[in-house]
Structure 1
Amino acid sequence: MGDVSGDRLIEVLATLASPHRLRVLAALTGGRAYVSQLARDLGISRALLQVHLKKLEKAGLVTAHLELSEDGKALKYYEISPFSLHLTPDVVAVAVTTLSNAGDGEADPKGNS
């Protein structure tokens, strides 16, 4: 993820702050999977899985591809988008300087409220 903006860092960390989404990513490390199979493997409903997959996709952590099976069914496959997050105090300090503060309801981190 290289030089990451504060807003991007918050988006990724917030997305990863869910046990369900971490389980989805862990399941996808074995390779791509379609929604129904992934839901069965994880023991959750397809509806709940879809919510988490959409958040992971929005954050750029997974990608989706629609494919037709041999019997003509449309299957939506998900796979992990390669990423690496190296979090250090210095990375956080740099990211904070780029925060937009949009919608956080807090004062500007630089004290410029």
Structure 2
Amino acid sequence: MNSEELLVALTALGHAQRLRIIAELAAGRVHVSELARRLGLSRPLLYMHLERLEKAELVIGHLELSENGKAMKHFELVPFELRLTADTILTALREDQETGAGGDDDLKGV
């Protein structure tokens, strides 16, 4: 994991609504309308949060057809573990150096 990937994950997890979404999805996949009802969120707002979580690869959405041919989107939690320590950060910064990602020349001594 490089620093950009780490920051995407931390940003995704750094919001109370997104933590609530993860908690709901921990019990299993849920149709987006049902998830919006459970959380008391509008679907547009829920989709904005789900997009952040998908970008961080913490949740995944699946489009399925119902019996009547209607497209239905379900989301589920992707198994993940994020352990944040000083070593996690140093490893991410070293990964940046090795791959040329990150672009911060001030980190050459990491």
Shorter chain as normaliser: what TM range?
Answer: 0.7 to 0.9
Q: Does 1:29 align with 2:26?
A: yes
Structure 1: gaps of 5 or more residues: none
**Same amino acid, percent of matched pairs:** 46
SS in 2 for 1:98: helix
Q: Kindly indicate whether the alpha-carbon contact (under 8 Å) linking 1:96 and 1:109 is maintained by their aligned counterparts in 2.
A: no
Structure 2: gaps of 5 or more residues: none
Q: Kindly indicate whether the alpha-carbon contact (under 8 Å) linking 1:21 and 1:56 is maintained by their aligned counterparts in 2.
A: yes
Q: Deviations over 1:68-104 (max 9, x none)?
A: 12232211000011111112211212212334446xx
TM-score, L = length of structure 1: 0.82
Task: Give distance in 1, aligned partners of 2:106 and 2:12.
Answer: 22
Task: Give distance in 1, aligned partners of 2:25 and 2:2.
Answer: 26
How far 1:55 sits from its partner (Å)?
1.2
Q: AA paired with 1:15?
A: A
Q: Deviations over 1:26-53 (max 9, x none)?
A: 1100100111100000000001001111
Q: Equivalent residue for 1:55? A: 52
Q: Which of 83, 87, 90 is residue 87 of structure 2 equivalent to?
A: 90
Q: AA paired with 1:65?
A: H
TM-score, L = length of structure 2: 0.84
Q: Equivalent residue for 2:70? A: 73
- Runs of 4+ aligned structure 1 residues displaced above 3 Å come to 98-102
Go from structure 1 to structure 2 and tell me whether the alpha carbon gap of 1:28 and 1:98 turns closer, same or farther (over 3 Å shift).
same
Alpha-carbon RMSD across the aligned residues, in angstroms, is 1.8
How far 1:111 sits from its partner (Å)?
6.5
Q: Which of 9, 15, 19 is residue 18 of structure 1 equivalent to?
A: 15
SS in 1 for 2:95: coil
Task: Give distance in 2, aligned partners of 1:95 and 1:58.
Answer: 18
Task: Give distance in 2, aligned partners of 1:92 and 1:110.
Answer: 12
Q: Does 1:38 align with 2:12?
A: no
